[in-house]
A and B are shown apart, each in its own frame.
Chain A
Amino acid sequence: MRRLRGKLAPYLLSLPSWVYLLVFFLIPLCSMLGMALAVGNPLTGYILSDNFQEFVTAFNNYQDAFLRSFWYGTASTVITLAISYPVAYWIAFYGGRHKSTYLFLVMLPFFVSFVIRVLAWEFILSDQGFLLGPLKAIGLLPRSYHLLSTQWAVIGGLVYNSFAYYVLPLYVVLEKIDRRLVRAANDLYASPATAFMKIILPLSAPGVFAGFLLVFVTNVGDFVNAALLGGPGTYMIGNIIQDSFFESQDYPMAAALSSMLMLMLMIAILLYSKVFGAEAIQEYAA
């Protein structure tokens, strides 16, 4: 009896999580998949069917948006990595006593509502805003130049909004790295650059990996940045889903698009883990 209890203990302890996942993840997921296959309209209600037409239509009509989403997601994640790594590195290695203050500063913009932050960017990037205005005034940029509603405005917004989400996991792994390892590498004829490549970078790989997943998945599915900073040419799949849901109230289409996005993300993540993840994590695990 005792032994049985001992064996069951981990399952019993994790029961609340299982229930949570079941209620708030698995059931909605199934209902979404069901909706994707349903026929009907909001007034008469929906009946589950084996109608896969929605998927075919979604795929045919919105290939561009899917591709764009993945491009924006990849580009913004790579840029975020490039920006947040030095910041996390600096805080972890040179932050001294003020590490938590610096982290707090990184987090600070996130105490402001997401939408407000994006609107602030709209203001900053606007055609006569304080960024472009002066540059145009002194003739560095042509009058007609604009950033808003280009893909770079959207990618920029995505980068800005995911910055802290990348800094944190990077900081966590970098902070754990024993500085004496760098000494040892220097002692063994590694220049600071080599020591970084051979010691710091591999040891921080789990953070790079985790942050990439976190930021990439969030950014591919994002729609707020594209809606506020982009234009008609920057529609991401998130925008299409939002439109289908709220504008045309085509619930089956919205559900089909969501399901497809989810599937594609899962495939992308699987490929990504196959290529980078296993190695990075194994290297560190032992």
Chain B
Amino acid sequence: MNAAPSNRHNVRLERVTKQFGSWTAVDDISLTINGGEFFSLLGPSGCGKSTTLSMIGGFESPSCGAIYLGGEDVSRQPPYKRDVNTVFQSYALFPHLDIFENVAFGLRRKGLAKAEIEARVREMLALVDLAGFAKRKPGQLSGGQAQRVALARALVNKPKLLLLDEPLGALDLKLRKQMQIELKRIQNEIGITFLFVTHDQEEAMAMSDRLAVMSKGRIEQIGTPAEVYDHPATEFVASFLGASNLIPGTVVERGKETAVVRLEDGALIRLPVAALQTGDAEVKIGVRPEKFLVLAPGESEAPGWNVIEAVAGVSVYLGVSRQYMMESKTGRPLSVYAQNAGRMGDIAPGETVRLAWNPMHTFAVAANQTQPEGE
């Protein structure tokens, strides 16, 4: 019962590839998940998340590469021998069994005592807020309830590794938030490793210790939510995880700590030299919309900050912030979030403003199209 990372329960994928005929669903993935970690796979529909889970669960075997669970190569081990449980994207509840028996299924296969099964199933049903539903059949549940049964059916076995394939997709916002917290609590409490699949970036960021961003069967980046958000490795990651403004430019100076990039309109932008991932001269610099500070007329920027000029366009009021669509001098669309802190009045469309930001908050990605990189 420890939540600390341990090698005993870790998961390691080594250059795993899965092909369906000539179609490559998962392309040369390597990744290590520590024991007790909450790890998310994040990516758009069809990028190979479910296929990756299927291989770890044992329902598909990799075309190439190996999968290790707790140090043991399980690539050819059948699913029913792996101490791994899955919450399936399609729930896959057994239609002929009632909710109680659905949840009890794994425990019965393990041959636990009747009384213990009864107790654990009841406890789990209470946990997912379905205590009164034990006698119902899956066909009599709403989508959200079915999803919670699927969750309970996997969790009740307390496996070393739990694979969750978009387990909260069918829940309404309130229940979803509630279950997110519940999942984190359970994970901390029993210290099992969670591999969580989602295409909701907010959910992935909120819940994960670390996450991997996938695209077209490849891993684009692995890191903590903050690392991946603040220092996206590729253009794909930058745009998939939240909004970002990407502006092409040329590196004109590489100092010890700071580098300078000249944008197409001649503006010079400073950024940490560490943000430049390659030696290429052509890059795209990126700034998250909330990192911009809209300067009031006549206000000067903090010393050392970057500044560009932009023309304001339409805006949307969101309570916490106002989101502006702006345009740079060269006509590039910029997204700017101004915090609702009463710093200044609203900016009228057509007005020219200066946008300042801390060079620390600048990242850079390769200038050519998304260049996927394995770990």
Q: Tell me the B residues contacting A by CB distance below 8 Å.
A: 57-59, 78-80, 84-86, 88, 90, 92-96, 98, 105-106, 109-110, 137, 139-140, 153-154, 157
Contacts and interface: CB of A to CB of B under 8 A. Distances in A.
Contacts of B105: 185, 188, 190, 198
A178 B80 CA distance: 18
Contacts of A202: 96
Given A187-B58, A286-B95, 4 more contacts: A181-B92, A185-B105, A186-B59, A188-B85
A218 interface: no
8 contacts: A183-B59, A187-B58, A188-B153, A190-B105, A191-B80, A199-B96, A203-B95, A284-B96
A243 interface: no
A286 B140 contact: yes
A180 interface: yes
Contacts of A24: none
Q: Which of B96, B105, B106, B109 has the most chain A CB atoms closer than 10 A to its own CB?
A: B96
Interface of A: 178, 180-181, 183-192, 194-195, 198-199, 202-203, 283-284, 286
Contacts of A283: 96
A194 B105 CA distance: 11
A121 B133 CA distance: 56
Given A184-B88, A286-B137, A189 B96 contact: no
B90 A190 contact: no
A183 B92 contact: yes
Given A180-B88, A286-B137, A286-B139, A187 B94 contact: no
Contacts of B139: 286
A202 B92 CA distance: 16
Given A180-B88, A194-B109, A286-B139, A186 B95 contact: no
A186 B109 CA distance: 10
A187 B90 CA distance: 14
Given A186-B58, A187-B57, A180 B80 contact: no
Contacts of B90: 178, 180
A189 B78 contact: no
A178 B139 CA distance: 14
Contacts of B98: 286
A185 B92 CA distance: 9
A195 B96 CA distance: 13
A185 B110 contact: no
Nearest to B84: A187
Contact of B86 (A187, A190, A198): A187
A195 B139 CA distance: 20
B88 A183 contact: yes
B78 A188 contact: no
B309 to A, nearest CB: 56
B1 to A, nearest CB: 22
A50 to B, nearest CB: 51
A246 to B, nearest CB: 49
A115 to B, nearest CB: 42
Contact of B106 (A180, A188, A195, A199): A188
Nearest to B111: A189
Q: Which of A187, A190, A195 has the most chain B CB within a 10 Å cutoff?
A: A187
